Each structure stands twice: as C-alpha cells, then as structure tokens.
Structure 1
C-alpha cells in the first residue's frame, strides 16, 4: 500500500477541523485528498488527539518489533534438530510411557493441550 503524504499528526489536525465545523469538502480541497480518504482517516483515527496518535504510532512500531521477534524465535525452533526421547517402559510388559514435558517446544492452536502431562 502506498504511504500517505500526510503524517498522522496532520491527519489528526484535519479531523479536528471537521469536528470544529469546517466543511469536509473544504478540508479535502485544502489537503488535496478525496472525501473517501478523509472518511478512511476518520474511521482509522476516530477522535484521537495528536498525542494519542503519537502513542498509537509508538504502539504499532512496538507491535511490529514483537511480531518480528516471534517470527525469529519460531524459525529458530524449527531449525533445531529434534532428538527423539528414549522410550520408557512402565510395569513389566506394559506399553512404553510417553512423556511430553521436556520434549521439543509445542507451538500452534492446541499447544497448551500437547504440553500437559
């Protein structure tokens, strides 16, 4: 998606002008944007003040960094060679006891179920 020519603070200022009663057509003409873009901005930023927009920007950057870290850790888990755990036998002649704790890391939707004893 193409990057906006306006910063989030400028967008918040333009949205504030609309709240003060300036016609949206005049705001769009002065900012050189279409009314559709203006309404998309309004939907995205709502009633945030410029300080709130700056905070939102910081949280979005932090979220992107955390997502990148999770992807890096997942890739590291997949690269590690898996060692099969030796089979342990229970009482005489019983089937081997399977242990799940300490096995390779479980990831996915039901990871909490697979990692429980």
Structure 2
C-alpha cells in the first residue's frame, strides 16, 4: 500500500518550516514531529529537493515524468525494431502453422 503523496508545494513548505524551527533552537526530531512527517521523509526530501523553490521542484517532477514517458517510447520502438529485424531474416512462424521458419 502506498502512502499519501505530498505536492511539491507542500514539501517545500514543510522543509522551510522545519528549517525555521531548527533555527530557533528546536532539535530536528522535535521539529519534524511538530510539522507532522517522519524523519525518514524529512531527510529524503531534503536530499532530493533541498535548495529548490516550488517552481523548480514542480519542473523537476514534470521532467521526470517526461523522461519516463520517453524511456517507454524508446523501449517500445526498440522492441518493434527487433521484431522487424527477426522477420526480415525469415526467422518467424505463425501460431496457426501457415508460416514456417525458412531456416529449419
């Protein structure tokens, strides 16, 4: 089961709140607890988007989605290319048996 996904704006806001509380002398563990997230989430978010503002973080997520979409397109096209190359060599057959492998 997946947990709740925070919006980029919320992540930046919570990171800033923790920075302010920590700057006022509160330990990080207490500041994280007061904001309502786990320490693991805090350190992961800080590592991923430490110095970013909201627009930069949103743009990063858009680029990651676009990158994933392009990777999927490349893998689909590579698979199509391999299938066509195999068919061009004559190494194919039909499940119904109407086509047979010419190399056999």
TM > 0.5 between the two? yes
Which structure has more helix as a fraction of its residues? 2
Paired residue total: 84
Q: Which has the larger radius of gyration?
A: 1
Which residue of the partner structure matches residue 97 of structure 2?
none
TM score, norm. by length of structure 1: 0.60
User: Does the CA contact (< 8 Å) of 2:18 and 2:35 recur in 1?
Assistant: no
**Which consecutive residues of structure 2, in runs of 5 or more, have no partner in the other structure?**
91-104
Which residue of the partner structure matches residue 98 of structure 2?
none
Which residue of the partner structure matches residue 17 of structure 1?
17
Q: Secondary structure at the match of 1:47?
A: coil
- Where has structure 1 moved over 4 Å in runs of 4 or more? none
**Which consecutive residues of structure 1, in runs of 5 or more, have no partner in the other structure?**
85-117
Between the aligned partners of 2:73 and 2:5, the Cα distance in structure 1 is: 29
Task: Give 1:90-109 correspondences, 5 Å limit.
Answer: none
Task: Give 1:33-112 correspondences, 5 Å limit.
Answer: 33-80=37-84, 81-83=87-89
